[in-house]
């Protein structure tokens, strides 16, 4: 599925802060375990799955590699103490421009060679207690480029169009869905991009784009 480029930043939005929370695996641009052969071998068709977006796999501790739009389900303990089961499906990754990346950091030089990548992930409350406020399930989605985690952008950069603000979600009940988005800076020349969702200690759900 091809990546798309979009101008998603709001004009006049406050400059966000670049969170340099990189993995210890190495610098940007090093080739990881996301070669085309490795990704193809672990995609759903290799495991007997289908490509339908409604498929649900990986309940609780299991992980998996999916096509964009395909879903896995996982119980997730929110900060409020409730532990609903969510269906999680990465929809797309929008790749921005070098100029947009510079606008996201205090020092433009910090964004040299980087572009923003916005991961849009759909979360559906399948069952369990109502999430009264401040769901944090969307905080666990990350963007990887060439096998390396991008640098997460935090702060008020404005919500991309169509994305919900988790701080404004109240009384999230069974059957309701929200599209939550996270922004990372990745190398402009990245050859492969993946979205990964996992909580600490869990097996990841991975979507290859």
- The pTM assigned to this predicted structure is 0.74
Structural domain includes residue 189: yes
Distances (CA, A) of 166 to 39, 47, 134, 139: 31, 34, 6, 9
189: which 2 tokens? 């020349």
pLDDT per position as a tens digit, 77-92: 999 999 999 999 999 9
- How many folded domains does the chain comprise? 1
Structural domain includes residue 52: no
How far apart CA 17 and CA 3 sit, in angstroms, is: 25
**CA angle (159 as vertex; 29, 8 as ends), nearest 5:** 60
pLDDT per position as a tens digit, 130-185: 999 999 999 999 999 999 999 999 876 667 888 999 999 999 999 999 999 999 99
Structural domain includes residue 51: no
Output the domain CATH number for residue 182. Answer: 2.60.40.1240
Structural domain includes residue 53: no
Structural domain includes residue 155: yes
Does residue 187 register a pLDDT over 50? Answer: yes
Structural domain includes residue 55: no
Structural domain includes residue 18: yes
Range of the domain at 204: 4-39+60-208
Phi, psi angle pair for 72, to nearest 5°? -125, 160
**CA angle (10 as vertex; 142, 2 as ends), nearest 5:** 45
List all residues 6 or more positions away from 77 whose beta carbon is below 8 Å from its beta carbon: 83
Q: Is 109 helix (H, G, I), strand (E, B) or coil?
A: helix
Does residue 21 register a pLDDT over 90? Answer: no
Q: What is the pairing mode between strands 56-57 and 177-187?
A: unpaired
Structural domain includes residue 68: yes
């Amino acid at each position: 599925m091809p990546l798309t480029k979009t101008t998603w930043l709001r004009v006049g939005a406050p400059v966000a802060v670049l969170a340099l929370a990189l993995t210890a695996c190495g610098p940007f641009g090093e080739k990881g375990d996301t070669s085309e052969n490795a990704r193809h071998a672990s995609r759903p068709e290799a495991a007997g799955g289908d490509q339908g977006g409604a498929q649900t796999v990986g309940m609780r501790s299991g992980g998996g590699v999916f096509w964009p739009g395909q879903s896995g389900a996982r119980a997730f303990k929110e900060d409020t103490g409730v532990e609903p089961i969510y269906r999680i499906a990465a929809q797309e990754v929008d790749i921005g421009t070098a100029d947009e990346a510079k606008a996201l950091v205090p020092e433009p030089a910090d964004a040299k060679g980087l572009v923003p990548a916005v991961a849009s992930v759909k979360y559906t409350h399948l069952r369990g207690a109502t999430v009264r406020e401040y769901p944090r399930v969307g905080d666990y989605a990350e963007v990887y480029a060439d096998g390396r985690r991008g640098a997460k952008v935090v702060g008020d950069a404005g919500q991309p169009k169509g994305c919900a603000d988790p701080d404004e979600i109240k009384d999230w009940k069974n059957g309701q869905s929200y599209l939550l988005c996270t922004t990372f800076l990745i190398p402009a020349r990245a050859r492969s991009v993946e979205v990964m969702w996992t909580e600490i200690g869990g097996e990841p759900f991975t979507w290859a784009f």
